[in-house]
Amino acid sequence: MENGFSSPRNDSFPAGLRVLVVDDDPTWLKILEKMLKKCSYEVTTCGLARDALSLLRERKGGYDIVISDVYMPDMDGFKLLEHVGLEMDLPVIMMSVDGETSRVMKGVQHGACDYLLKPIRMKELRNIWQHVFRKKIHEVRDIEILEGIEFQMTRNGSDQYEDGHFLCGEDLTLIKKRKDVESRHDEKDIGDNSSSKKARVVWSVELHQKFVKAVNQIGFDKVGPKKILDLMNVPRLTRENVASHLQKYRLYLSRLQKENDFNNPVGMIKQSDSPSSDSNGNFGSQNSVNLQDASNGCYGFSGSSLGVHNVDPRNHDGDRKRLVTAPVAEPKRGLTVDPPNPSKPRNSQMEFGHLLAPPQSEVNFARFDFSFPTKYPWCGIAETQLKQEHNPLHLNDGFSHLPMPGQKQLSRADHPQPAPAISSATSSTERQTGCPVKTKPSHNDYTSNANHASAADSTPLQTKTSLTDHQAVLPTSSMENQGLNMNCLTDLESPRKNINLGTLPFATLDEDLQVCFVTGDYYMNLGLQNIEVQEYFDPGLLTGVPTHLDDGLRFDYEIFDPTEYSLIDQSLFI
Amino acid sequence: MDRKQLQYQVACMRKSLFDQGYLDEQFNQLEDLQDEANPNFVEEVVTLFYSDSSRFIHNIEQAMINKPNIDYGKLDDYMHQFKGSSSSFGAKKVKKECSQFRECCSAGNIEGCIKTFRQLKARACHFEEEAGNILSAGKTSWNR
């Protein structure tokens, strides 16, 4: 069994994918191990489901995907599947010699991302990495949306919020639809799950706020789904819903943290505003989101108003403006993924709800600590960006790490406005991750390229990358976000949204970018980064998200280097 | 006999197993997996199967001895495991017998179960024998 935390896969993804195989049949274990090794994956085998669970728990973030048999003597495969989904949120593939429709359906209902029939062919195993990738993208998107929501919420208080909310409503719907299409199985409705299919819970802004508040109250370290559920006191919300959301939230936070760390040990989100900055990890203490450390994972929506998570941008110190994540640019946006470098402005901070002054454009996502160091390089927005071909959001693998467990849900949910933001947020986060460069080696695994973006650039770039990430991110979500852009999310979000929406091609991006780059320098850099990021970012995004207040879509083309812009353009738009 | 002849024999035996339906393309997959790192991969897998199948057969027999209250659920489980195991390297016939057995089980057809089981046992033994011969005789030939 190899060590779960293997070194990040930088550029050889999907090679090096860390797979955990669980099967009571030793013959199959042997065969699968050999097959997976031939695919250049790192394999760990387990004969008992119990052992598998403890392995997963011990090495959080040590595995990318789990393949499990359905019939096992000590534990039902479906049960294991549920546990993994809730606790670790890893993609799980079921396999069995029994291929009856009802069984397959049950597997999917319990959250399996695939169901293979034995005997399993090698070619079926070759493509399992797609599930890992897909999940990452979704996470990023979720985070973006979450950020957007948060941002929206914290934006200048209630008025804006309402407005944004209103505006974002449609966007949210769009996002939601899109998400639905993507069939994230995380989503759950509030409602009863009598049917095997889980109802979807829509994590609205208010709901999420409650969640964050509860988490902050309990203390991130001590948080547990049951406690949160009790505190939130929302009827018909199940523990499972909360657990899933919490996981996403953690991912989101850790992502931010990572980025923050990466960018700047200083820690704290840099937000132009005073409040946020600094403190890392203040939960809610300030507007800025302080993700503080990885351990927190919680969303630092500190936002003054919302207490949205505080992303601790750490990195940013000076960069605030970097707003790397462009969309987040707006202060509140906490999703700034700060490139790990302190110098880089990119701190991706996730500022959710920071009501910080607009200058904050920096979106520091980085602050979320990346609890999943190796997993997905959320941080590496740059990374993802490059890679993403498929989704702009996907900027980096790193995003996957985003500790925003809730993100996912958010994306789906209709967070009224924030949703758009979220998507953008997620995208931004993603982007950011790219930018942050690297904070996590993990990013590298996936898209090596993304890394470059983030890592390579110095601050200015960072912003870019972050933006790019966003952009990248956006594109993916762009579809949905189209509507969303922007309105809901105040600047920051809009960039994000733009990105997500994809449709908002530059225009939105620019805006985002603008927002992000408070400082003119960044813009320049963006160009650079954009190139790297390319695919996903719309140069416009990089320009940073201006205080976002303007409608999401403003492109400041001037800022970008046209050449780069085009590069980005192409890549960006999904 | 000389090597060539031996190889030929092995090839024939192997082919016959395929033709008889004892092996299917899954077995080819296993052979493909064999390489320098695991030169005896196929052999190892088949050996594992032998031990597994003996265990299964024994368990099933035990479960069936107690005729009046046969625990069909348990039988079903065993058979499922056995089926999974045999599918690992393409033991088609054995797999098929397993399915039949399970059907009888679910129907509560004890007689059918016994009958199928006997057949299954016979097939498994036959397969083991033949595969064993191939392995021992054609160790070198087995490697492609």
ipTM: 0.82
| Percentage of chain A lying above the pLDDT 70 cut | 34
pLDDT tier for residue A43 given thresholds of 50, 70 and 90: very high
- Say whether B33 and A69 touch across the interface (CB within 8 A): no
Q: Which of A149-158, A239-248, A423-432 is most confident?
A: A239-248
Which residues in chain A are closer than 8 Å to B88, comparing Cβ atoms? 25, 27-28, 31, 118-119
Instruction: Tell whether A26 lies on the interface with B, counting CB pairs under 8 A.
Output: yes
Among residues A362, A321, A306, A266, the alpha carbon closest in space to that of A150 is found at A306
Nearest to B83 among A34, A97, A121 (CB): A97
Instruction: Tell whether A79 lies on the interface with B, counting CB pairs under 8 A.
Output: no
Mean pLDDT of the region A18-36: 89
Instruction: Tell whether A96 lies on the interface with B, counting CB pairs under 8 A.
Output: yes
The 10s digit of each residue's pLDDT in A161-180 is 444 444 444 444 444 444 44
The 10s digit of each residue's pLDDT in A194-203 is 444 445 666 7
Among residues A343, A299, A303, A293, the alpha carbon closest in space to that of A320 is found at A343
CA–CA distance, A50 with B32 (Å, rounded to integer): 32
Mean pLDDT of the region B47-63: 81
Is pLDDT above 50 for A365? no
Which residues in chain B are closer than 8 Å to A71, comparing Cβ atoms? 77, 80-81, 84
Nearest to B80 among A71, A119, A122 (CB): A71
Among residues B29, B142, B27, the alpha carbon closest in space to that of A122 is found at B29
The 10s digit of each residue's pLDDT in A406-457 is 443 333 433 344 333 333 333 333 333 333 333 333 333 333 343 343 333 3
The residue ranking higher by pLDDT, A536 or A260, is A260
Burial profile B43-77: b = 16 or more Cβ within 10 angstroms, e = fewer: bbbbebbbebbeebbebbeebbeeeeebebeebbb
pLDDT of residue A251: 78
In order of their start, the domains of chain B are: 3-138 (1.20.120.160)
pLDDT tier for residue A323 given thresholds of 50, 70 and 90: very low
CA-based max dimension of chain A: 65
Which residues in chain B are closer than 8 Å to A116, comparing Cβ atoms? none
Is pLDDT above 80 for A534? no
- Say whether A119 and B44 touch across the interface (CB within 8 A): no
Q: What backbone phi and psi angles, to 5 degrees, belong to A544?
A: 100, 160
- Say whether B88 and A119 touch across the interface (CB within 8 A): yes
pLDDT of residue B67: 61
Mean pLDDT of chain A: 56
- Say whether A31 and B32 touch across the interface (CB within 8 A): no
Classified as helix, coil or strand, A68 is strand
The residue ranking higher by pLDDT, B24 or A555, is B24
The answer for A 40-69 residues in CB contact with B (under 8 A) is 69
Rounded to 10 deg, the angle between the A562-572 and A506-516 helix axes is: 120
Mean pLDDT of the region A536-561: 42
Burial profile A26-46: b = 16 or more Cβ within 10 angstroms, e = fewer: bbbbbbbbbbbeebebbbbbb
pLDDT of residue A99: 84
Nearest to B90 among A35, A69, A119 (CB): A119
The 10s digit of each residue's pLDDT in B25-51 is 777 777 777 777 777 777 788 788 788
Instruction: Tell whether A74 lies on the interface with B, counting CB pairs under 8 A.
Output: no
